Structure 1
Amino acid sequence: MAHGTRGGPDGRTVATMVPSATDLVVALGAADRIIGISHECDHPAVTGRPILTRSAVPGAPDPGRAAADPAALDAAVSAARAADAPLYLTDRAALHRLAPGVVVAQDVCDVCAVTGDQVACEVPEGTEVVRLGAVDLNGLRTDLRTVGRALGGEGPDRAEAAIAALDDGLAAVRATVAGQPRPRALLLEWGDPPFVAGHWVPELLEVAGGIDALGAPGAPSRRVSWDEVATADPDVIVFLPCGYDLDAATHEGRALLARPELTGLRAVAEGRTWATDATRVFSRCTPVAVQAARVLASILHPEVAGPVDPRAARRLGPEQT
């Protein structure tokens, strides 16, 4: 389909303004309709498509890479938000030139990507704006149905098939770890300052047979103190920094474990610390949630769930004895 062709209800072109949007549209069999993507979209099915967004924060790392100074990046983001300055910019001229029939954005996190409100002010007249809003697995089911309806044609049926596959995959993980002890895990979404993961990630931990030491299913990620971390003294630490790939998370995670606040924790001393490919596995509420649950199950219960996929997670500390 040529760029700029809006088409009928069964063939409208799509622009995806956040990686999860791209992943959902691809999962519903419509990769060929995507004519523009965000600068963070990394699905191989859309390599080379026009880029429609960029970061407006000075010093922001390339997608998937570690920040040179996580604390400085956190401060820059906080300052921009306090000044009501945009964190991301849209290439409005390119968006109007491509004239997609549908633009898929998100309303979950203004730190992570262009928001639906921002996109709604930028799109050409007549373009439908779909807003992803999943903060839990039920929300993911809703997002799949919403995107399916916007795609038209077989989109709704494919959405129901994707939901069935999601539910079957999660049920299989639950069955695998059923009856196992439930270790307490600290899920760190950012290292400096420390944030614990929220929204769907604690829910996936529960599916995988664990208990969240400081977070709660459905609650947003939140900043915590190192004293809270030390008091929690979790059985396992999983480092899943938002937007980092596995190599970047490993590099920063190993430096993080050298902090004096962490060196005395049992999980650190006994080698139960892990880094993950957070950007592809944990930072998006998409059908990748099944893979994320499997990764957590393998970290917590390797005796029944099998070894951890080395492409998705890596041990930070020494091997357990």
Structure 2
Amino acid sequence: MSGAPAPMRGPRRIVCLTEEPTETLYALGEQDRIVGISGFTVRPPRARREKPKVSAFTSAKIEEILKLQPDLAIGFSDIQADIAAELVRRGVEVWISNHRSVEGIVDYVRRLGALVGVPARADAYADGLARGLEAIEAEAATLPRRPRMYFEEWDDPPITGIRWVAELMRIAGGDDIFPELAAEPLAKQRILADASEVVRRAPDIIVGSWCGKKFRPDKVAARPGWDAIPAVRDGELHEVKSPLILQPGPAALTDGVRALAEIVQAWSRRQHGTARGS
């Protein structure tokens, strides 16, 4: 019948085991499908008020999830393999994505949109995310010099950033000092065996995003030998909140990369002013 609303396609009762599917589904206007979320979800803020929290990152309330009668659970990475396996054994369909790059995040938005029957809306949203990145990259191309950057996602032991973070630093105008580690998918493979290697690679900017706790620039600056690092010498130690950058979803491609770009642009202005005044 003409004028009747289109029937809902795809899964109708989704449990989101991490934040990025929640943020994406809300952005696509498909939040009514969500029946449970991760306790670490902060974006969008209304999700925490509207949806029951049924999982952490490495654990989940399996019985609570089953009571929600989901027809799909969505998670991320090998770290949630045990949760996924248990849900599969209990009869729940599960999608564990494993994207680790900026391109992968954009593609994830498209795939999730297609999965819930709104591919055109998802493509439009993904295209907008890509255009935003292109604009930031174009602005970064005007910088007189690219800073060398060290990104730390944990302090004890020091763990450097994952691939999409390194790529976002490049888009923002900087260069990751540990590109070979950024390619490693597992956090344990990105532990710095020798923290003094940061001193040797001499970053101009240090960005901390300690997952779940506040970044402490004073503690970083006090590490043995780190006073020789240009970033420490010049006071270029900055925090980007972990929900903005450590989730492989829309947040990283919007607020996360913008935060990095602001840090790089401010560094460039200070350096340029110093150079002119010297």
**TM-score interval (norm. to shorter):** 0.7 to 0.9
The Cα of 1:134 is off from its aligned counterpart by: 1.3
Counterpart of 1:258, as a letter, is A
* Among candidates 200, 222, 233, match of residue 202 of structure 2: 233
Q: Is the 8 A contact 2:87 2:94 kept in 1?
A: no
**2:132 aligns to what?**
169
> Number of residues paired by the alignment?
256
Please give the residue correspondences for 1:111-190 in structure 2 after superposition, counting only pairs within 5 Å.
115-116=80-81, 118-122=83-87, 127-152=92-117, 155-180=118-143, 181-190=145-154
The Cα of 1:38 is off from its aligned counterpart by: 1.6
TM-score by length of 2: 0.83
**1:264 aligns to what?**
228
Task: Note if 1:296 corresponds to 2:266.
Answer: no
Q: Is the 8 A contact 1:198 1:215 kept in 2?
A: no
The Cα of 1:25 is off from its aligned counterpart by: 1.8
The Cα of 1:254 is off from its aligned counterpart by: 2.5
The Cα of 1:128 is off from its aligned counterpart by: 3.0
**1:277 aligns to what?**
241
The Cα of 1:8 is off from its aligned counterpart by: 5.3
**1:17 aligns to what?**
17
The Cα of 1:265 is off from its aligned counterpart by: 1.7
The Cα of 1:116 is off from its aligned counterpart by: 4.4
SS at match of 1:121: helix
Flag the structure with higher helix content.
2
Q: Is the 8 A contact 2:17 2:38 kept in 1?
A: yes
In structure 1, what is the Cα distance between the partners aligned to 2:218 and 2:179?
22
**2:31 aligns to what?**
31
The Cα of 1:144 is off from its aligned counterpart by: 1.2
Greater CA deviation, 281-290 or 9-18?
9-18
Unaligned runs of 5+ in 2: 1-6, 270-277
Compared CA separation, residues 304 and 275, structure 1 to 2 (3 A): closer
Counterpart of 1:268, as a letter, is V
Greater CA deviation, 258-267 or 12-21?
258-267
Q: CA RMSD in A?
A: 2.6
Counterpart of 2:35, as a letter, is I
Unaligned runs of 5+ in 1: 1-6, 56-87, 306-320
SS at match of 1:160: helix
